[in-house]
Chain A
């Protein structure tokens, strides 16, 4: 494959596949390197939610290099002498786990080399953000609700239904959504490319004037 052919639309699905594989390592590298930048809108949104009191015991969400720290007003178990009276429960979420669809989206977008690829990439990133927000937020709440013990869970005052919903959202957005949303965002922003592949060899439909 010649280098300049990487920047022209692929002629087949197989070409798209190989090009995506070629772009993926670079996209993974750039994603990890710029994680704080890509995570910044998520941190802002979660801080806004915590300030709005959703839920009431969440005090703040701080952004780390690649993580988000959920700081609560919940007290750790008092029987544990390792904690002082003013101690509060906090938990850390690895943001990379829930934004890992971004390098796949970027690799697919560059591989498709569609006209206006940068706009498609930015649009795809914006489409991913709400899903990433739900995933990180649900994971933070899940870790506090299920991993910190019954004393902390009691203070949250979540109903059984809320706990079940939280467990489902956590599983759904952890196991299935990060890469799937990337595919959906790519599909949505590359309808012309998809149509061309599906009807390989046929000309694109002309846009009505």
Chain B
């Protein structure tokens, strides 16, 4: 348990620091965020043709309302948390890779729902937008990360003789 926590915090800190660096922003965060805006626009286009995406900005051409997808709303942090948790947990690399790919899809899928819902919530009521943006969606995205992680570790094969926290695997109540 302690090994997992320390590894998790270390990997998370390193990954978070890396994406803050200029090259991390230029080659990863910005393209990622722009792609997210484009995907949101493509989905919204099915029922609302009056929406455009320019860079990381999603804009309504009918009323001029726009949201800019900034750090904290692009799902990068949630993805880092999930990746750090999967990497810190002792499991075969094949499972880690599969877990990460499916996890990213789950987290980013919900993040697309977040961005689109905030886009329309902001056009309806800014007070509710602020609440959903700053507090509610933060909790929901992290809850998503937790559930994905729990489902993943349930499918990871654990060493039969070493399933205690000392091995970094599933924690047991008596040893942790």
Contacts and interface: CB of A to CB of B under 8 A. Distances in A.
Nearest to B2: A188
Interface residues of A, number: 41
Interface string B142-167: 11011100110110000000000100
B174 A207 contact: yes
A204 B172 CA distance: 8
A28 B71 CA distance: 23
Given A97-B134, A176-B16, A195 B142 contact: no
Given A175-B72, A194-B171, A13 B142 contact: no
Given A168-B17, A176-B16, A195 B150 contact: no
Output the residue of A97, A104, A174 with the most chain B CB within 10 A.
A104
A192 interface: yes
A182 to B, nearest CB: 7
Given A13-B151, A28-B135, A171-B20, A180 B170 contact: no
A191 B5 CA distance: 13
Output the residue of B81, B135, B151, B174 with the most chain A CB within 10 A.
B135
B70 to A, nearest CB: 10
Interface string A76-102: 000000000000000000001100110
B97 interface: no
Nearest to B142: A179
A196 B123 CA distance: 44
A198 interface: yes
A194 B170 contact: yes
Interface residues of B, number: 36
A100 B20 contact: no
Interface string B71-89: 1100001001100000000
Contact of A100 (B8, B138, B173): B138
Contacts of B81: 176, 180, 183
Contacts of B150: 13, 16, 194, 197-198
Interface string A98-123: 00110110011000000000000000
Contacts of B77: 175-176
A171 B139 CA distance: 18
Interface string A165-179: 000100110111011
Contacts, number: 97
Output the residue of A20, A168, A171, A180 with the most chain B CB within 10 A.
A180
B13 interface: yes
B34 interface: no
A204 B154 CA distance: 15
A153 B172 CA distance: 50
B56 to A, nearest CB: 16
Given A28-B136, A182-B142, A205 B172 contact: yes
28 contacts: A13-B147, A13-B150, A13-B151, A17-B147, A21-B143, A24-B136, A28-B136, A97-B134, A100-B135, A100-B138, A103-B135, A104-B139, A107-B139, A176-B77, A176-B81, A178-B138, A179-B139, A180-B142, A191-B1, A191-B176, A192-B173, A195-B170, A197-B150, A199-B154, A199-B170, A204-B173, A205-B172, A205-B173
Q: Which 10 A-B pairs have the closest CB atoms?
A: A179-B142, A191-B171, A104-B139, A192-B173, A175-B72, A176-B77, A198-B170, A100-B135, A13-B150, A191-B176
Interface of B: 1, 5, 8, 12-13, 16-17, 20, 71-72, 77, 80-81, 134-136, 138-143, 145-147, 150-151, 153-154, 165, 170-174, 176
